[in-house]
Amino acid sequence: MGQGPVAGIPFGHAWVLDGSTVIDKSNGRDLTMPMQIYYVIGQVDRIGNVIEYSWKEARTKILDYGHWGPWDLETSSGL
Q: By CB neighbour count within 10 A (0-12 exposed, 13-18 middle, 19+ buried), where does 22 fall?
A: buried
User: Which domain does 30 fall in, by range?
Assistant: 4-65
pLDDT (tens digit, 9 = 90+) per residue, 28-62? 888 999 999 988 888 887 766 677 788 888 889 88
- What does pTM read for this prediction? 0.65
> Does any domain span residue 71?
no
- Report whether 49 contacts 73 (CB < 8 A): yes
> Does any domain span residue 15?
yes
> Does any domain span residue 28?
yes
